[in-house]
Amino acid sequence: MRKFALIIILLALQVSYSQSQTINPLLADDIKTQEKWVDSVYNTLTTKEKIGQLFMVQIMSSDKASDNVKNFRLVDEYGIGGIIYSKGGPMRQAKLNNKLQAISKVPLLIGMDAEWGLSMRLDSTYAFPWNMTLGAIKDKKLIELTGKHIGEHCKRLGVHFNFAPVVDINTNPRNPIIGNRSFGEDRDNVTEKGLAFMKGMQDAGVLANAKHFPGHGDTEADSHKTLPTVSFSEERIDSVELYPYRQLIKEGLSSVMVAHLNVPSLEKRRGFPSSLSRHIVTDILKNDLGFKGLIFTDALTMKGAADYIEKDIDGINKRSANTEGGIDLMAFLAGNDVMLMSENPVYGIDRFMEAYEEDIITDVRLEHSVKKILMAKYKVGLNTYKPVKLSNLHEDLVRLKDDVLHETLMEDAITVVKSSKAILPLRDLETKKIAYIALGDDNGSAFFDELKKYTEVHKITADKLDDVISKLQNYNTVVIGFHKSNANPWKGYRFTQKELAWLYEIARNNTVILDVFARPYALNEVLTVDNIEGIVVSYQNSEIAQKKSAQLIFGAIGAKGELPVSAGPYFPVGTGLKYNSVSNLSYGLPEHVGMDSNLLNKLDSVANYAVNNKMTPGIQLLVARRGKVIYNKNFGYHTYAKKNKVDADDIYDVASLTKILGTLPVLMELEEKGSVSLNSKLGDLMLPYKGTNKEDITIKKMLSHYAKLRPWIPFYFATLDSVTKKPDPKYYRKKRSKTFNVEVTDNLFLRNDYKDSIQEIIQESELLSRLRYRYSDLPYYILKEYLEGFYDKPMNEITEDRFYKSLGANYTTYNPRDKFSLKDIVPTEVDSYFRYKKVHGYVHDMGAAMQGGVGGHAGIFSNANDVAKIMQMYLQKGFYGGRRYLKSETIDKFNTCYYCDADNRRGVGFDKPQLGDEGPTCGCLSMTSFGHSGFTGTYAWADPEEEIVYVFLANRTYPEAGKNLLLRENIRTEIQRLIYEAIVE
């Protein structure tokens, strides 16, 4: 007997010690003031009102006003303690909330299930990723920041409790209710993430709720539909499922939700719900774990809960137990403080009143829970309640900083689980012919569009597998995107048998990268991965996930994520191959790189002003900083007829940008190889110039426009009829032939030998009378001749082979009609002086046209994204996409102003900022910056000091080239000035 008594005493001491080791998370900083407020409010309440405080009722803010009459009655007449909101928009919820709070004697405690933020963006996407996605992130500071942001959302909306984080350890892939809501299967990872999330949210002043106690991770049934069973031993549950709770409680967890589960090892009564179990709620949670925060039931409306009250009335007489409200009473007597989502709160309160009168509920027990609820209300500021401010509510909830965080989270989460022969990230793009195939039942267009920003990628579709295999014969790399719905975390994630058959067969015949835009468990049914060279898990099919995953595949962002759960037999939890960025351009929000989105949006106004005032029919505008494209917009149309809107894939005649995008990189490459030098003279490089007035002109001087060369020679003019001023039949034919084979425009062919005549005219041309800075196209006619002779190839093939293919600049080309549809090519002019027709898909520059569209000074067509790639390569001192194209010292050598003392701002090939008040830039950027402009309205500039690339493409020459309002009104440089004003760090 003494031994038994001793055991009881030791157990009591153990409980006491356990509780003493945990803090009371409901205590405010000003404990005495809090205690005084709690006591004063408690003493004003009737017994019925005290009981009302124990109930938190679900309200749909999407319901009609008439549907909420009963809710107003519950607040006004029954004094319920709180509300959990579901379904509806923020403004409806805020308005309804203010009305309900206004009639409540004690301010209501407001809760929400906002595990991944509030679904209130205009496109109805969730604010943040699922927990499973967060579980893949190594940086716990990001998880804490996520909790804080979500807490800030809740607080702004008048929400005091967020029923998060979920700390269930999801060890069962078939779990229908947890899955994506869990941080994973590893107890330490779940604990670390749950703790970080909790701290962040509670730092924002919103109380956290860990759920679902004692652990909902290993079930195969939906607790909303039945009573799932957790079959683990008590030892296993203590060491795994309870582990996160133990750690969070030590760190000040505010509340716990008890699950709707059957746990035989913890509750001996067969089929008895955990939320009704005194042993689970009181003995384990309160006593063993020492939890002093609020304890919520899971929804008491869950199917089957009431079926169990007859099995053990636990001290309640049968009349109370078997009438409505008995389930609420049993939950309370088990140790819960808040009855969440009672089937009928009116009956529940009535049953509590009966139990109180029958001494089943004592004053001590009632006071214990009600005062805990009031303590929570004080802690969240309800002692000085203020209504939710309705003005700017949407703006305060849809915040730019949340989008920035969301992007960062996805970048850190996406996981590479396989990369045979280092296939990822994709490099050597000149050797790749890439196809994209979409599997799954959701949209993958954002993924495909982002892939195309890096190189040429074709989407393959067919109804039959044989047709797919046939089409793929022309490709050596296939990216398969498995896209499943992102509408909510419970959506299906499995491959169909047909999709698996297609996957196996495509992988058997091709090099494949599989990207899974669904939970990792999708890989469980993939029987073999032997033939799949690369596998990426992107977790969700959101637009952000799709874009970031495409960037990761091409190495624009590094691979950081690790699987939070095991994915089939091949990829255990923790799998995650790592690699760094290979310095491709990535894409994201300005705030990632120290720019202000709102200030940057001022560019829209200037671009629209230019279009609306007919300075140009349309514009492509791009800004990148620190290797990230942070502004890329299109304005206007191809022409003033307004039939074709400008699209990012449309290509423009970039005119003189050809000089630095085409001729210059090829020359720089030869210079660093020693084939030429800046001091090489024309007479030494090219025999025809030996003995001419140009033989001593150096490359440095002529590319600095400081060689007395004539600015321009109108070569075409001599080929026009002297009377009609139209192309002279002596030089032109309307049909191609062996003699007339230089295509100037459609149905107009120049005599072959006239290209030689152009070079002869340049060789024989007079020099200017004095040495001074004069811009000239002639050096690039000369260098084109030299480079084509050196490589024994036409200039278009040289640039393509040596730069564009490997850069993934597949929109950059000479003679675009050979590769692109006219609907994707922006026209440049209605020619009324040479070709006498609309110039569309042919180079605008007359001299380049007379060279078959391939000039050293003009002829290249491109889009803003491709131009940015080449400028970024220069900015990165010749390195891009994991490859060194040029040496750093080579870039520096050409990006030097050698004749500044002679009032010549130019570098070697590159234009440079003005030396005085007027010039090619806004005058607000560093002297190390460089770029060029083009006659058609184009402009590209890079600044190494601020790491900015700016690209402006236009066709201001359409329909007439004479007016240049873009230049007169400084549109391009005004935009540049606004870019620099948007720098905040």
For the record, the structure tokens of 700 come out as 């440095």
Q: Which helix (H) or strand (E) holds 741?
A: strand 740-745
Rounded (10°) angle between helices 363-379 and 31-44: 130
Is residue 439 within a helix (H) or strand (E), and if so which, with residue range? strand 434-440
> What is the DSSP-derived secondary structure letter of residue 898?
T
Tell me the three state secondary structure of residue 403: helix
DSSP H or E stretch at residue 602: helix 602-612
Angular region, 818: left φ>0, alpha ψ -120 to 50, beta rest: alpha
Cβ–Cβ under 8 Å, residues 382 and 375: no
SS3 189: helix
Q: If we measure between CA atoms, which residue out of 641, 632, 716 comes closest to residue 979?
A: 632
User: Is the peptide bond between 483 and the residue preceding it cis, with omega within 30 degrees of 0?
Assistant: no
How many Å apart are CA 956 and CA 432, to the nearest integer? 36
Strand pairing class (477-483; 434-440): parallel
Helix and strand numbers (H, E) in the chain are 36, 30
> Helices (DSSP H) in 748-838: which residue ranges?
754-764, 778-791, 795-799, 805-807
Catalytic residue from among 63, 203, 222, 224: 224
Closest by Cα among 232, 234, 230, 236 to 216 = 230
Which of these, 269, 331, 338, 287, lies nearest to 305 by C-alpha position?
Answer: 331
**Other CB atoms within 10 Å distance of the CB of residue 865:** 24
**At 145, phi and psi to the nearest 5?**
-65, -35
* Residue 498 exposed, middle or buried by CB count within 10 Å (0-12, 13-18, 19+): exposed
Query: Of these residues, 298, 402, 442, 824, which one is catalytic?
Result: 298
Q: Is 224 in the active site?
A: yes
CA atoms within 13 A on the CB side of 971: 30
Measured between alpha carbons, how far is 305 from 327 in angstroms, rounded to an integer? 7
* Burial (CB count <10 Å: 0-12, 13-18, 19+), residue 901: exposed
- Distance (Å, whole) CA 668 – CA 891: 8
CA separation for the pair 276, 431 (Å, rounded) = 65
Give 837's DSSP letter: S
Q: What is the DSSP letter of 72?
A: H
**The tokens 């299109």 sit on which residue?**
634
Alpha-helix runs per DSSP H in 268-340: 278, 318-322, 326-334
Q: Cβ(534)–Cβ(581) under 8 Å?
A: no
At residue 222, what are phi and psi to the nearest 5 degrees? -85, 120
Q: How far apart are CA 41 and CA 45, in angstroms?
A: 7
- Between the CA of residue 267 and those of 158, 170, 229, 295, 662, what are the distances in Å? 38, 21, 11, 18, 77
> Rounded CA gap, 870 and 665, in Å?
9
Residues taking part in catalysis: 224, 298
